Chains A and B, each alone.
Chain A
Amino acid sequence: MSSLRLVLALGTAALMGIPLAAQHSFTPADIEDGGKLFRTNCVSCHGPEGTLVDGVDLGHGKFRHASTEEGVIRIIQEGIPGTAMPPNNFTDFQAGTILAYLRSVATSGRTALSNGDAARGKAIFEGKGGCAGCHRVYGAGSRVGPDLSDIGALRRVAEIELSLLDPNAEVLPQNRFYRVTTKSGEAITGRLLNEDSFSVQILDTKERLLSFQRTDLREAGFINESPMPSYRDKLSAAERADLITYLASLKGF
Chain B
Amino acid sequence: MKQLVFSILGLITGTAWGQVSFDRILAAGNEPQNWLTYSGSTMSQRYTTLTQITPQNVKNLELQWMFQARSLEKFEATPLVVDGILYTVQAPNNVVALDAVTGRVFWTYPYVPEREARPCCGQVNRGLAILGDTLFMGTIDAHLVALDAKSGKPIWNVAVAKAEAGYALTHAPLVVKDKVIVGTAGGEYGIRGFIAAYDAKTGKEDWRFYTIPGKGEPGNDTWKGDSWKHGGASVWVTGSYDPALNLTYWGIGNPGPDWNGDERDGDNLYSDCVVALDPDTGKLKWYFQFTPHDTLDYDAVQVPVLADMQWQGQPRKVMLWANRNGFYYVLDRTSGKFLTGKPFSTVNWAKGLDEAGRPMKVNGMEPTVEGQQVYPGVQGATNWYSPSYSPRTGLFYIPTWDKYSSVFVKVPTEYTEGRRYVGTSPRSVVGLQGAAVNQRKEDEGYGAIRAIDPKTGEKKWEFKMLDVTDAGILTTATDLLFSGGREGYFYALDGRTGELLWKANVGGGVASGPISYAVNGRQYISVTAGNSLLVYALRQ
Contact = CB atoms under 8 A, between A and B. Distances in A.
Interface string A167-205: 000000000000000101010100001101001010100
Interface in B131-183: 148, 150-151, 153-156
Interface string A216-253: 10000000000000000000000000000000000001
Given A139-B155, A143-B148, A209 B106 contact: yes
B157 to A, nearest CB: 8
B13 A213 contact: yes
A211 B99 contact: yes
A208 B13 contact: no
A209 B7 contact: no
Nearest to A216: B11
B107 A186 contact: no
B396 to A, nearest CB: 37
B8 A211 contact: no
B360 interface: no
Given A186-B8, A216-B11, A194 B106 contact: yes
Interface string B7-29: 11001111111000000000000
B99 A208 contact: no
Interface residues of A, number: 22
B104 A201 contact: yes
B105 interface: yes
A63 interface: no
A11 B73 CA distance: 53
Given A199-B104, A201-B14, A253-B156, A182 B8 contact: yes
Contacts of B12: 208, 210-212
Interface centre among B8, B13, B104 (most CB of A within 10 A): B104
A207 interface: yes
Contacts of B104: 194, 196, 199, 201, 211
Nearest to B155: A139
Contacts of B153: 147
B505 interface: no
A194 B153 CA distance: 16
B203 to A, nearest CB: 11
B235 interface: no
B150 A199 contact: no
A212 B11 CA distance: 7
B154 A253 contact: yes
A242 to B, nearest CB: 26
Interface in B491-526: none
A186 B7 contact: yes
Contacts of A139: 148, 155
B89 interface: no
B473 interface: no
Given A196-B104, A201-B99, A208 B16 contact: yes
Contact of A209 (B4, B11, B85): B85
Contacts of A210: 12, 14-15
Given A182-B8, A182-B11, A211 B151 contact: no
Contact of A199 (B17, B102, B107, B151): B102
A83 to B, nearest CB: 13
B97 to A, nearest CB: 7
B101 interface: yes
Contacts of A208: 12, 15-17
Nearest to A191: B151
Interface of B: 4, 7-8, 11-17, 84-85, 97, 99, 101-102, 104-107, 148, 150-151, 153-156
21 contacts: A186-B4, A186-B7, A193-B106, A194-B105, A196-B104, A199-B102, A201-B104, A201-B105, A201-B106, A203-B106, A207-B150, A208-B17, A209-B97, A209-B150, A210-B15, A211-B13, A211-B14, A211-B101, A211-B106, A212-B11, A212-B13
Given A193-B106, A201-B14, A211-B101, 7 more contacts: A207-B150, A208-B15, A209-B14, A209-B99, A209-B150, A211-B102, A213-B11
